[in-house]
Amino acid sequence: MASNTSLCARARCYALAFSALALSLLFLSLASMSHAAQPLSECPDPATWLHGDYYLTGDLACPTDVQIHLSHARLDLRGFSVTSAFNVFCHHCSITGPGTLTGMGGIDGDTVRVVNVTFRDTTARAVRAVRSVRLVNVRIENCWAGVEAPRASIIDSVITGSSNDGITAYSSGYDPGQHEVYCYGGKLKLVNSVVTGNNANPSALDCRFEAVDGCADIRACTSPRLASGSSCGKSLSVDTGQPFGICDLD
């Protein structure tokens, strides 16, 4: 009898374990379905924030009053393009290609990751973030300016032909005691990347920081790091007004 009781107990344990496993697999399946990427076939309502994963099903040409809002989201361009006169606003998001963003205000946000995307002829900075930017295999060409962020990693990328800075890498603050604006931060690292041919048609207003005038391929507060064959045309310190001595024309 004891043996039969033990067998029954074990059978119940196996059944409970199997039920728990089945429920776990069901929950995982439902979670996977709920996080499946959703198609984006038209420009969203400007008041709508997109959360989760999305992918383009064709080229998007958005009107001037439409700003695409992404929050904790991923957008896969899948070889298509986005053309707009307004920004893609990116709150903790990533945009992956292949694909092109053109004729618009670029990406504006806080924490931005871009992979395998081309920016062309944007009417403002191609990528701007108040916290950090990470670009991998990105090409920025003939834009109003390239990248602006206090922290940026640029990997396997090219930034060229910008009217103003190729990269602007610093934050600014105000010292009430000295009644002056000062720069700080500016952690920039280039890995196997090229930043040349920018500052092509600089704006006097946008290329000025306190007493330091001028744009450059790289304009920063602290010296950037160039690694693995990276190169730049000209650099400028907004703190001293002098080049960092890291670029070809410094």
Per the domain annotation, does 78 fall within a domain? Answer: yes
Residues 6+ apart with CB under 8 A from 94: 73, 74, 75, 112, 113, 114, 115
Instruction: Tell me whether residue 68 is in a domain.
Output: yes
Task: Say how far residue 162 (Cα) sits from the centre of its chain.
Answer: 18
User: Taking the chain (250 residues) in consecutive chunks of 10 residues, what is each chunk's mean pLDDT?
Assistant: 51 53 50 70 87 95 82 96 84 96 88 97 93 97 96 98 96 74 85 97 87 93 94 95 96
Q: Look at the chain and report how many structural domains it folds into.
A: 1
Amino acid, single-letter form, for residue 229: G
Amino acid letter, 189: K
**Element spanning 19, H or E:** helix 2-34
| Tokens, residue 247 | 């670029």
* N- to C-terminal Cα separation, the chain: 91
- Does 249 fall in a domain? no
Residue 63's domain comprises: 36-237
Decide if 8 is inside a domain. no
* Antiparallel, parallel or unpaired: β 208-209 and 225-227: unpaired
Please check whether residue 126 lies inside any domain of the structure: yes
Q: Are 123 and 85 in contact (CB under 8 A)?
A: yes
Q: Is residue 197 part of a domain?
A: yes
Domain assignment present for 49: yes
In a domain, 100, yes or no: yes
Contact 168, 188 (CB under 8 A): no
The pLDDT of residue 191 = 98
This prediction has a pTM of 0.83
